Amino acid sequence: MKSNVKILIGVVVLLMIGAGVFASVKYNQRGVVTVQTGKVIREDLASVVTSSGEIKPRNYINIGAEYQGQLTAILVKEGDHVRKGQLLARIDEEQSKADVAAQAAALSSAEADASASEAAVNAGQDNINALQATLDHAKADEQRYELDFHRGEQLLQQGLIPRSDFEQRKAASEGQKAAVAEANSRIVQARAQFAQLKAQLSGSQRRIAQTQAGLNRVNDILTKHNVVAPIDGLVTYLPVRMGETVVPGVQNSSASTIMTIADMSIVTAEVKVDETDIVNMKLDQPAEITIDAMPNKTFTGHVIEIGNTAILRSTGLAASQSSTSSQEAKDFKVVVAMDNPPDEIRPGLSCTAKVTTAVRKNVLAIPIQALTTRTKGDLDTNPNKPINPDAATVKANSEEIQGVFVVGADNKAAFRKAVSGISGTTDIEITDGLTEGEKIVTGSYQVIRTIKNGAMVKVDNRPPAPKPTT
């Protein structure tokens, strides 16, 4: 009996000793934070902007109808390669052919009238020349008869000729004056008729020019009944069928677009980049492009265009066109040219572009999640700090500082200010504040958000246990 009591007392004593040891351990572990750690290392970093969009040709043309009519022939099909100037389709041209024939007949008539007028003008000019010669001859005779008359007058006064001879000379001089006046009258009349003929010729020539312009117009319309390829390319869209009526110049109408020709020699990925990343984009930056329809394939490219207009993500409209101010997220268009597009690529395919905006070689880097922020007030460990600080102190204490928690030899986590550089996929560059090999707190996310400066830590880098499957 006494033996059993002794055993019981021994067990009780051992239990009390164990409880004391356990309580002592727990007491010493108060405030200890379990953390995951890593080291500051050197590595190569690349900053990559990832965005999605679709495949588009750099140059494409929507071919619309330039004349209303019925499609009488479609000579290509969607997916065909065409050459510049190749005939693609025909629109009914009977009416235009009739218009061309009518204008050609009108032009022939106008040219015939002009030829007749020109002949009359030439004849009129010849008549004027003949009348002018007659007038010149009459004037010469008038001068000769006038001299003969004055000489006869002198001879009569000297009594050397009879009066009848004088009278005959006088009559001849006056008759010649009348002949000159008549020749003058005829030439004036001929010149008036000539001016009228020239006016008729000028009118005929204007009618020729007008009719020729009309013929050129209807000929141009006739040529537009033939739809030809404006560029070398691929028929990517063909919404019409033979027999349908097409009309020109109607916006957003299926009847106004006959087909789309895309120049597939330069294929691009047109993507939308978030406004926070657009400032890092520059021309000629390299990119990797993946296409949803071509899995397990990656294509290279480079940036050839960066948009300057913000696009509202919800509506796709330019922010400048929005009538209301909005704080919603915005994107910018970026065009990436593919270096070697595959033959089977098609416009409209969904794609993702990863643009490398910066590269750093052999730089200090830490996991992105290790970088955190604290305010000056959080870092102030002065036990004598005022309970009710003034406004200036409150403002100063609210300033945020970027940094990491460094684990020292005493197992305490000390916050240290760090200056960051470019961000890679999982790591971020540190340009100042840390040295290679230092141990820093890298997890968990909850710990990094809540850990206090100077807290005791316990390192546990074991991988998390897998979740049980149901």
Question: pLDDT tens, 309-333?
Answer: 888 887 878 877 766 656 778 899 9
Q: Is the pLDDT score of 19 beyond 60?
A: no
Q: Is the pLDDT score of 10 beyond 70?
A: no
pTM of the model: 0.63
Domain boundaries along the sequence of the chain: 33-45+363-459, 49-61+267-360, 95-223
- Predicted confidence at residue 323, as pLDDT, reads 63
DSSP class of residue 238? -
Task: Classify domain 95-223 by CATH number.
Answer: 1.10.287
Closest by CA to 69, choosing from 249, 260, 229, 248, is: 248
Q: Which residues have CB under 8 Å from 229's CB, separation 6+?
A: 63, 82, 83, 84, 85, 86, 88, 261
Q: Is the pLDDT score of 79 beyond 80?
A: yes
Q: Which residues have CB under 8 Å from 220's CB, separation 6+?
A: none
- Higher pLDDT, residue 384 or 186: 186
When pLDDT is cut at 50, 70 and 90, the band that residue 245 belongs to is confident
Q: Is the pLDDT score of 470 beyond 90?
A: no
Asked if the domains 33-45+363-459 and 49-61+267-360 are classified in one and the same CATH topology, the answer is no
Coil, strand or helix at 59: strand
Structure tokens at 107: 């032009």
Evaluate whether the domain defined by 33-45+363-459 bears CATH number 2.40.420.20.
Answer: yes
Give the CATH superfamily of 49-61+267-360.
Efflux pump adaptor protein, beta barrel domain (2.40.30.170)
Closest by CA to 182, choosing from 225, 146, 138, is: 138
Structure tokens at 89: 């389709």
When pLDDT is cut at 50, 70 and 90, the band that residue 29 belongs to is very low
**pLDDT tens-digit profile of 401-416?**
999 999 998 999 999 9
* Angle of CA points 267, 271, 273, to nearest 5°: 150
Q: Is the pLDDT score of 209 beyond 50?
A: yes
Inter-CA distances, 201 with 110, 111, 189, 192, Å:
10, 10, 18, 14
- Predicted confidence at residue 465, as pLDDT, reads 66
Inter-CA distances, 375 with 335, 403, 427, Å:
41, 11, 23
Least confident of 208-212, 323-327, 347-351, 409-413: 323-327
Q: Is the pLDDT score of 22 beyond 50?
A: no
Q: Is the pLDDT score of 455 beyond 50?
A: yes
Structure tokens at 118: 């020109």
When pLDDT is cut at 50, 70 and 90, the band that residue 250 belongs to is low
- Predicted confidence at residue 175, as pLDDT, reads 83
- Predicted confidence at residue 114, as pLDDT, reads 83
- Predicted confidence at residue 23, as pLDDT, reads 43
Average pLDDT value over all residues in the chain: 85
Task: Summarize the confidence of residues 100-106 as an average pLDDT.
Answer: 87
Q: Is the pLDDT score of 246 beyond 80?
A: yes
> Amino acid letter at 189?
Q
